[in-house]
């Protein structure tokens, strides 16, 4: 075990603490982690002096960054803010982590890819973002690499949903209570990811860096994690409605129609295909990845 982990214990600074993923990380954290969660207005990620001073004072062994400007279409018109929060500020956290010898876990996205592949994306595949959001998230990844920080995990995920946040599952349930018919995009393929599964995966990855004998010599780097399996938004919506009805929700919905991306134009371009290979995650952690349908069942149980 590294000296810094021993001295600082598993003291974890959770940035973006009010968010959907951060809430789940705090909820599933193993008991030996001591979590300090920070968020706006008290903690401003884009204030470099504040970030460096706070981290220097707290001296965490681990920093997990869940903070992001995630309104994908909003990023198209608020590019400066997107670049600041998702890009430049991540560099401040990396610099702060380096200064106290902490491990940084930074959450990234499938939007760093163009979606032109037809087989699952690997960690070292060529990035080619097609939206302001994707560009800003990629610049965050690059800021970590440019910082010279050695002890980092960049964890890319996709189609994230969970309790305590605006998400596709809740949107579909809400619309299905109001309407008899919905048109849902059927030509974008990905893997829905339940925050509970991603939060557990983050701790599984972290354990590889703190164990005395990690399964591989250098576990640090980029990881892909989403739930296993794949579907379109249309198939995801059908599964949501089916489970909602099984769980006693009263819905008006009678029909869900598959539509093309072109039929539902949005400001930001979405990847047509963003399924991830989780082979690296499984090899390094020794853990299996739950299927997306299993994750959705667990979410409904929690609701």
Cβ–Cβ under 8 Å, residues 8 and 60 = yes
DSSP classification of residue 120: P
Angle ∠(282,283,289) on CA atoms, nearest 5: 10
How many C-beta atoms surround the C-beta of residue 183 within 10 A? 15
Q: Which two tokens stand for residue 244?
A: 């909602």
Q: 56 to each of 5, 60, 93, 106, how far by Cα in Å?
A: 15, 8, 11, 19
Residue 231: which of 184, 278, 196, 195 has the closest Cα?
184
Q: Is residue 133 flagged as an active site residue?
A: yes
Phi/psi of residue 93, each to 5°? -65, -40
Cβ–Cβ under 8 Å, residues 85 and 68 = yes
Spatial separation of the C-alpha atoms in residues 77 and 83, rounded to whole Å:
12
Q: Which two tokens stand for residue 287?
A: 């853990």
Q: Which residue has the tokens 């250098």?
A: 218
Sequence-separated (6 or more) residues with CB below 8 Å from residue 166: none
Spatial separation of the C-alpha atoms in residues 199 and 237, rounded to whole Å:
23
Q: Which residue has the tokens 């960054």?
A: 65
Q: Which of 54, 92, 111, 133 is catalytic?
A: 133
Task: Indicate which residues carry an active-site annotation.
Answer: 133
């Amino acid at each position: 075990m590294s000296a810094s982990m021993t001295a600082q214990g598993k003291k974890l600074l959770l940035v973006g603490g009010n968010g959907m993923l951060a809430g789940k990380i705090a909820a599933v954290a193993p008991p030996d982690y001591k979590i300090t969660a920070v968020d706006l207005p008290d903690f401003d990620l884009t204030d470099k002096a504040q970030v460096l001073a706070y981290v220097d004072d707290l001296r965490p062994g681990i920093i997990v960054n869940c903070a992001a400007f995630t309104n994908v279409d909003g990023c198209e018109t608020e590019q400066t803010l997107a670049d600041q929060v998702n890009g430049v500020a991540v560099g401040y956290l990396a610099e702060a982590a380096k200064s106290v010898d902490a491990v940084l876990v930074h959450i990234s996205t499938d939007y760093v890819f163009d979606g032109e592949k037809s087989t699952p994306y690997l960690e070292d595949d060529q990035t080619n973002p097609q939206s302001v959001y994707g560009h800003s998230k990629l610049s965050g990844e690059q800021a970590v690499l440019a910082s010279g920080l050695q002890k980092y995990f960049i964890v890319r995920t996709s189609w994230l949903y969970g309790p305590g946040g605006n998400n596709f599952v809740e949107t579909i349930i809400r619309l299905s209570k109001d309407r008899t018919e919905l048109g849902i995009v059927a030509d974008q393929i990905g893997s829905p990811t339940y925050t509970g599964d991603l939060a557990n995966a983050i701790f599984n990855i972290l354990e590889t860096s703190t164990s005395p004998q990690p399964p591989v010599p250098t576990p640090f780097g980029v990881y892909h994690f989403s739930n296993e399996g794949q579907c379109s938004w249309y198939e995801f919506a059908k599964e949501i409605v089916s489970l909602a009805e099984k769980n006693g929700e009263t819905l008006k919905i009678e029909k869900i129609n598959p539509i093309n991306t072109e039929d539902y134009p949005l400001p930001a371009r979405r990847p047509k295909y963003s399924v991830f290979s989780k082979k690296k995650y499984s090899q390094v952690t020794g853990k299996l990845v739950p299927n997306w349908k299993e994750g959705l069942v667990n979410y409904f149980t929690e609701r």
